[in-house]
Amino acid sequence: MSENQFIKPVTTEKKNNLTIGGCDLTELARMYGTPLYVIDETTLRGICKSYKKAFAEYSNIKMMYACKALCTSAIIRILDEEEFGFDTVSAGEIYTVYKSGVDMQKVLFNGNNKSAREIQLALDYGVGRFSVDNFHEAELLNDIASKKNINVKILLRITPGIECHTHEYIKTGQTDSKFGFDLSQIDEIISLIKTKYKNLNLRGLHAHIGSQIFDTQCYYDEVEILVKEIARIKNIHGIVLDEMNIGGGLGVKYTEEDNPPSVRVLSDAVTNAMNKYAIEIPTIYIEPGRSIISTAGVTLYTVGSTKQVPNGRKYAAIDGGMADNPRPGMYQAKYSAEVVNKINSKEKELVTLAGRFCESGDILIENIELPQLEAGDIICVYNTGAYNYSMSSNYNRVEKPAMVLVNNSQSDIIVYRETLDNLIANDNIPDRLKRK
């Protein structure tokens, strides 16, 4: 079984309390406070290795971690040690990767509305590839690159017209999408690159079809479309493209109802599609994000108040919620959880875990069976490594949680908890409002 098919980190153990990475989670909660993001290094490195092993038969494969899933300096350092490149979508992600000591030739800059400032920064830091998303970007990138006398290696991001069975908000490959060139626009942009945009060096095509994907037939279809388009471009324009980026999006197991395909099944779909056509594609890039980091992460919360609605449900309030995990509210995302300090309890009751924020919709998990909850109990919510910290906010002016890395019974802070002073650090009171 591949690691993305587990709900819990692979080092999870039930002793007197729940442990991950050899660390007692009640002790982590005591030491670092809650809410607390916890990343298991063993699980993270194991998933990286499973990707490399699954694609080992295809010699020209390059793994690119999708930084949007979780981008911190320590996480980037681990992925760099595991020989991954990096798919970035902002100046902040590029800067984090750069400051982490990564060879910037291993970095791709992606995104549908790159600013001039971000493009200049990426060029100054020596980012290896740009995934050009639209006509405006092509013109802007060429203009900036020409002023810097730089020849930029690019891929064209296309929308392959594939509908994946995932949430509407995380589909990206369908024809009606904000991302990429429609296939009918490819000849026009290539003609502009050949005749006008002399500082753009077209190397290949890029497509991404969505996220939390369970049907690997989508990947087979995507590769088929890309291969056919590369052959057509060679025939029509005389350009031999030697790179193909198929994006990421492989699903993970959040609950027992989820049944994601293994990484090996994904690699079979990709290589089978490649083998069908007599075309040389020297390099394939793949950009997993969620399926790399999600299972390695959990979030710890402390239970506060409880409320029994007469003739209704029971609520247990935690000290976090939609600001540190907005996914249930955005995507109706489902999660699994356990009570860290009552891990061996047999008696269960149905409870709804409610967040602390001032929204009725701030519900983390509805109707989950857990031991009877009391103030001070520690809840562990599984599979929160991807997008929780990345999408977190300071709603209600609440400080963002800390993040720790656990491995071999050792824990290390990799993101410090925000302080109240952090919250007001960028505030400014104009002179006319200052008290005299």
Distances (CA, A) of 428 to 202, 231, 359, 395, 421: 46, 57, 28, 19, 13
- For residue 313, the model assigns a pLDDT of 94
- For residue 101, the model assigns a pLDDT of 98
- For residue 3, the model assigns a pLDDT of 66
- Is the pLDDT at 336 greater than 90, yes or no? yes
Distances (CA, A) of 4 to 214, 272, 332: 11, 22, 20
- For residue 76, the model assigns a pLDDT of 98
Closest CA to 286 of 133, 42, 2, 58: 58
Q: Kindly state the average pLDDT of the residues 373-387.
A: 98
Distances (CA, A) of 402 to 248, 321, 386, 399: 27, 14, 15, 9
Q: Which amino acid is at 33?
A: G
For 410-427, b where at least 16 C-beta lie within 10 A, e where not — what string? Answer: ebeebbebbeeeeeeeee
- For residue 169, the model assigns a pLDDT of 37
- For residue 287, the model assigns a pLDDT of 96
- For residue 5, the model assigns a pLDDT of 82
| DSSP symbols for 289-310 | SHHHHTTTEEEEEEEEEEEE-T
Q: Kindly state the average pLDDT of the residues 331-348.
A: 95
Q: Is 86 within 8 Å of 105 (Cβ atoms)?
A: no
Closest CA to 206 of 187, 229, 184, 176: 229
Domain boundaries, the chain: 41-290
Side-chain-facing half-sphere of 126: CA atoms under 13 Å: 8
Pairing label, strands 314-318, 349-354 = parallel
Pair of tokens at residue 372: 């009877």
For 317-355, b where at least 16 C-beta lie within 10 A, e where not — what string? Answer: bbbbbbbbbbbbbebebebbbbbbbbbeeeeeeebbbbb
For the chain, the distance separating the N- and C-terminal CA atoms, rounded to the nearest angstrom, is 68
- Is the pLDDT at 100 greater than 80, yes or no? yes
Pair of tokens at residue 315: 């609520």
Residue 58: pLDDT band (50, 70, 90) is confident
For residues 137 and 89, give the distance between their C-alpha atoms in angstroms, rounded to a whole number: 14
- For residue 34, the model assigns a pLDDT of 98
Number of Cβ within a 10 Å radius of residue 314: 15
- Where is average pLDDT lowest: 33-37, 73-77, 156-160, 298-302? 156-160
Q: Kindly state the average pLDDT of the residues 80-97.
A: 98
- For residue 168, the model assigns a pLDDT of 44
- For residue 171, the model assigns a pLDDT of 41
Q: Which fold has domain 41-290?
A: TIM Barrel (3.20.20)
Closest CA to 95 of 122, 131, 70, 129: 122
Q: Kindly state the average pLDDT of the residues 409-419.
A: 98
Helix, strand or coil, per DSSP, at residue 392: coil
Radius of gyration of the chain (CA): 23
Pairing label, strands 337-339, 283-286 = unpaired
Residue 281: which residues within 8 A CB-CB, separation 6 or more?
60, 227, 230, 242, 243, 244, 274
**What is the total residue count of the chain?**
436
- For residue 280, the model assigns a pLDDT of 73
Q: Per-residue pLDDT tens for 154-211?
A: 999 999 888 655 434 334 444 567 889 999 999 999 999 999 999 999 999 999 988 8
Number of Cβ within a 10 Å radius of residue 61: 18
- For residue 164, the model assigns a pLDDT of 59
- Is the pLDDT at 279 greater than 80, yes or no? no
- For residue 57, the model assigns a pLDDT of 84
Residue 395: which residues within 8 A CB-CB, separation 6 or more?
322, 323, 357
- Is the pLDDT at 62 greater than 80, yes or no? yes
Number of Cβ within a 10 Å radius of residue 409: 11
Cα angle, residue 2 at apex, residues 291 and 160 outer, rounded to 5°? 45
3-state secondary structure 315-366: EEEECCCCCCCCHHHHHCCCCCEEEHHHCCCCCCEEEEEECCCCCCCCEEEE
- Where is average pLDDT lowest: 48-57, 135-144, 292-301? 48-57
Residue 376: pLDDT band (50, 70, 90) is very high
67 is catalytic: no
Catalytic residue among 23, 164, 218, 358, which?
358
Q: Is 395 within 8 Å of 357 (Cβ atoms)?
A: yes
Which helix or strand (DSSP H or E) is residue 131 part of?
Answer: strand 129-132
Mean pLDDT of all residues belonging to the chain: 93
Sign of CA dihedral 322, 326, 329, 333: negative
